[in-house]
Amino acid sequence: MNKKPLRSLASLVVTSFILISCIPGSTTNKVQQREKLIMQITYSALFTQHLQPPVANAELSQRIFSKAVENFDVSKKFFLKSDIDEFSKQKNNMLKMLQDGDVSLFEKMYQRILQRIKEAEELANSQLNEPIKFSKKEVYETDDDRQTFAKNAKELQENWKKYLKYRVLVRLYESIDTSTTDQLLVPEITEQAEQEARKKEREQLKEWFDMLRDMDRNDWFGLFINAYSQNFDPHTEYYPPQRQEDFEIEMTGQFEGIGAQLVNRDGFVTIERIVPGSASWRQGELEEGDKILRVTQENGEATDVVGMSIQKVVKLIRGKKGTKVTLTVRKADGSRRDITIVRDVVEMEAAFARSAIAEYNGLKLGYIRLPKFYVDFYKETNRNCAQDMRTEVDRLKKEGVAGIIVDLRSNGGGTLEGAIDIAGLFIPSGPIVQVKATGQPARVLSDRDPALVYDGPLVVMVNHFSASASEIFAAAMQDYGRALIIGPNHTFGKGTVQNMLDYDRAVGFGNRDMKPLGSLKITIQKYYRINGGTPQLKGVTPDIVIPDQYSYLDFGERELKNAIAYSEIAPATYTRWTQNATFPSAIEKAKKRIAENPKFQLMESYARWLANNKEKSAISLKWEEYIATQRRLKEESKRYKDVYISTDSIPFVIPTSTVAELTQKGDDQREWKKWVGDLSRDVQLQEAIRVLYDLR
């Protein structure tokens, strides 16, 4: 994320004043005046500031219209086809409406979605008042993209009937003991169980509709504006004032609770990201993609949270430091698990770079975990990743390690300057990355410190979640031939730079009564490797490929709609590292080990199994068939339970100087000991250690 001022911000401000002057003073609707201003600033910003604005034509207008409909009703549970037909009369005029600040279509869609939500709530409550039978052979399609808008009210009623039947079916399965040695025995659905399941669904459905009612006009307007921004690229996004604050919290890493970033997906509060250093991160079982089904307090009070708003789930999860909360989650493989987490503030120390030492075949091998490329991440510490990495490298050198592993798995990026400075620790000097805006020459960004801090064997670990600054560092090490990269078939593939445009600043001192107006995160540049390629879409392909669970799933920047295209420019001038004669033999040895390792074979099988089951989006609503499917999934998933945990271990220890620092500060070392204990059985890390050993 780049926080430098936009190059043409002054011209945009001037344009904004011109636009403001066009707003009639006689207009009485202040809300619509404000929305008109936001639309006009957005139009100017998108077409003058964006890296690669799309061609402004009818096709783009139609795509924007489709995205607006999707943003308002992604699950196709509210609008009728007649609504879409009515709205679509403006589908070729979307760009002109943005340029003119015409809010008429938004007003119509906004009023209609409020009406349809109210009607849907009444319909759903009516249907849940009647007993539901599960003997009919029928299916419910869970993939929104494969559904269509109902042609009329009768068809919408039937769609809701199937949806609610599916929801109650899931609740029944969660509540009834289906475990038995006789796989042919189907537990009976009692009248009481069916009534209780409908009651719970009615309660949670109320929470869902309450959440929809809690969305104010600004929220819906933000969705409408983002139909425009999302058609420029997936990282350009308008933030209404309240969401702007959320974004700033996210960028500074200041999260509360268990340290998990949540998102609501089709009624399920889902784990979107685990915050490094948090209670969830330290506990280790909660993962991205887990769906939260229930929250249980330490006193045993349990609350079903399916369909509940994120805000209410957060309130249930939060609590005093030291108390426990249990999350019942559904994993990606369909299995259900209870995960108990001790509440705590996010332990920022664990979010910083830290090191450990592996003891392997009589050698000491260094390991550094970097969760994020942070800089001034927390004002009270004023730390940055490059300084901390140098500290850890020096620490490991004093311990006499024979090589170093830099672990960037699940490191989503951060500061560009940090990536450059850290790369500079491992090369004498030279270019690290190139950045380029449309119509401008590429700028080569180089290591500013001529000192070579470490010249020994180096391995970099990545995964599908390694993105942006992580990809810049890994690509630079690969292009120089300085390190071997080990990970799955590709990293995330984000090779673009965004900047924040504050709309309040754009309008200057004019129209103070309109503020706050929000902000626009806008893509302004693309990263390029020093070899002339870019991580955009392709990511970084490791030198040594190891399977993981996402290998066969559609994942990464390349799967996002309207992603900026891959391109190449002239390579920078740089001198490759010459002390890498052992690379070819180390790669060949690793390939042989990976092919023969039962754990990696199991990982490969798991990845294919996940991809195969992901395609099966049509769910049977017949009790016997649903039970049989869930039993099969549960049984199949058992063999993958400990897929990432090795049966043997490579011992890790905390560096001597770290122990001394912790002792001096009086810090509890139990978390550190748990951390190095987990490292010792990490099957992917074990292979990285063997690769590093072969590089001697």
Domain containing 277 — which CATH number? 2.30.42.10
275's CB contacts (< 8 A; 6+ apart) are: 253, 255, 259, 260, 261, 281, 346, 351
Residues 437 and 459 in one domain: yes
244's tokens: 């702007």
pLDDT grade, residue 14 (50/70/90)?
Answer: very low
d(Cα 466, Cα 487) in Å, to the nearest integer?
A: 10
pLDDT at 126 (0 to 100):
96
Residues 321 and 457 in one domain: no
> Residue 236 phi/psi, 5° resolution?
-90, 125
- 572: number of CA atoms within 13 Å, CB side? 25
Q: Which of 161, 102, 167 is nearest to 126 (CA)?
A: 161
pLDDT tens-digit map of 414-424? 889 999 999 99
Quick check: is 441 in a domain?
yes
Is the pLDDT at 255 greater than 60, yes or no?
A: no
Quick check: is 368 in a domain?
yes
pLDDT at 547 (0 to 100):
93
Is there a cis peptide before residue 516, judged by omega within 30 degrees of 0?
yes
Write a three-state SS string for 413-479: CECHHHHHHHHHCCCCCEEEEEEECCCCCCEEEEECCCCCCCCCCEEEECCCCCCCHHHHHHHHHHH
pLDDT at 450 (0 to 100):
87
List beta partners, residue 375.
384
Q: In terms of DSSP bridges, do strands 458-461 and 363-369 run parallel, antiparallel, or are they unpaired?
A: unpaired
pLDDT at 554 (0 to 100):
86
pLDDT tens-digit map of 415-452? 899 999 999 999 999 999 999 998 899 999 999 888 89
pLDDT at 350 (0 to 100):
62
d(Cα 590, Cα 687) in Å, to the nearest integer?
A: 8
Residues 314 and 357 in one domain: no
Quick check: is 212 in a domain?
yes
Residues 222 and 303 in one domain: no
For residues 434 and 444, the answer to whether their CB atoms sit within 8 Å is yes
Helix axes 104-128, 191-214, angle to 10 degrees: 160
What percent of the chain clears pLDDT 70, i.e. is strictly above it? 90
Mean pLDDT score of the chain, rounded to an integer? 89
Is the pLDDT at 26 greater than 60, yes or no?
A: no
Q: Which residues are catalytic?
A: 468, 479, 494
Residues 589 and 453 in one domain: yes
Residues 333 and 359 in one domain: no
120's tokens: 């849907």
Quick check: is 240 in a domain?
no
pTM: 0.80
d(Cα 690, Cα 686) in Å, to the nearest integer?
A: 6
pLDDT at 276 (0 to 100):
62
Q: Domain range for residue 214?
A: 54-231
Quick check: is 371 in a domain?
yes
d(Cα 136, Cα 459) in Å, to the nearest integer?
A: 57
pLDDT at 22 (0 to 100):
43
Residues 331 and 361 in one domain: no
Measured over all CA atoms, what is the biggest interatomic distance in the chain, rounded to whole angstroms? 83
Residues 600 and 657 in one domain: yes
For residues 40 and 17, the answer to whether their CB atoms sit within 8 Å is no
3-state helix, strand, coil in the chain (%, to 5): 45, 15, 40
Which of 24-38, 344-358, 509-523, 598-612 has the highest mean predicted lDDT (pLDDT)?
A: 598-612
Choose one of 298, 323, 342: the last residue of a domain.
342
371's CB contacts (< 8 A; 6+ apart) are: 276, 277, 350, 351, 352, 353, 410, 411
Q: Domain containing 411 — which CATH number?
A: 3.90.226.10
545's CB contacts (< 8 A; 6+ apart) are: 487, 488, 489, 594
Quick check: is 34 in a domain?
no
CA 480, chain centre distance (Å): 30
Is the pLDDT at 116 greater than 80, yes or no?
A: yes
d(Cα 263, Cα 282) in Å, to the nearest integer?
A: 21
Is the pLDDT at 3 greater than 70, yes or no?
A: no
Quick check: is 634 in a domain?
no
Query: What average pLDDT does this structure show over 514-535?
Result: 95
Choose one of 231, 266, 284: the last residue of a domain.
231
pLDDT at 510 (0 to 100):
67
Is the pLDDT at 183 greater than 60, yes or no?
A: no
Residue 14, burial from CB neighbour count under 10 angstroms (0-12, 13-18, 19+): middle
d(Cα 446, Cα 369) in Å, to the nearest integer?
A: 24
pLDDT tens-digit map of 551-610? 999 889 999 999 999 999 999 999 999 999 999 999 999 999 999 999 999 999 999 999
Q: How many domains does one find in the chain?
A: 3
587's CB contacts (< 8 A; 6+ apart) are: 484, 543, 544
pLDDT at 569 (0 to 100):
98
DSSP state of 130: S
Choose one of 342, 367, 386: the last residue of a domain.
342
Residues 157 and 301 in one domain: no
- Single-letter code of the amino acid located at 120: A
Is the pLDDT at 6 greater than 50, yes or no?
A: no
Quick check: is 635 in a domain?
no
Q: How far apart are the first and last CA of the chain?
A: 37
Residues 328 and 473 in one domain: no
How large is the C-alpha radius of gyration of the chain?
A: 27
Write a three-state SS string for 93-117: CHHHHHHHCCCHHHHHHHHHHHHHH
pLDDT tens-digit map of 33-67? 999 999 999 999 999 999 999 999 999 999 999 99
pLDDT at 213 (0 to 100):
86
Residues 273 and 383 in one domain: no
Query: What average pLDDT does this structure show over 369-390?
Result: 78
Is the pLDDT at 378 greater than 50, yes or no?
A: no
Residues 167 and 287 in one domain: no
